Amino acid sequence: MSSWRVRADRLRDGYLRLRARAYASPLGRIGVKLAVAVLGTLVVAVGVVLLPLPGPGWVIILAGLALLAMEFAWARRLLHFTRAQLLRWTGLVREGSWLVRIISVGGLFLVVAGAMLLSLRMLA
């Protein structure tokens, strides 16, 4: 097994032990939910702020949603829906004709160029 996988397993096991200890009392359960809600919302908010700038805004939003999905069922459903739509879109682009690929990449280029233009205007 690779070293990163071993480290990830240890980190996950440590998190699960800590979570089980916190969930042993009703106050701990509320504390965990509150901490995850605040942290996840903060990460999503940072991602939303970064959306008009060139950078990983959507990735940060999805990371915040993944944090929220650790404790909340609505976030888990939204994350699964988002993942399914992303897989559907990538499948459409992969299996589509060259015209579909060119239009998709062109549209993506226009969105990125527009975001860069807006961010440069905001900075000027």
**Three-state SS for 123?**
helix
Mean pLDDT of the chain: 85
pLDDT at 101 over 90: no
Residues ≥6 apart with Cβ < 8 Å to 80? none
Q: What is the pLDDT of residues 30-79, one digit of tens each?
A: 988 999 999 999 999 998 888 777 778 888 999 999 999 988 999 999 99
**Residue 91 token pair:** 């499948």
pLDDT at 1 over 80: no
- Asked whether 34 and 68 are in contact (CB, 8 A), the reply is no
Among the residue ranges 68-72, 87-91, 115-119, the one predicted with the least confidence is 115-119
- Asked whether 31 and 22 are in contact (CB, 8 A), the reply is yes
**Residue 68 token pair:** 């929220």
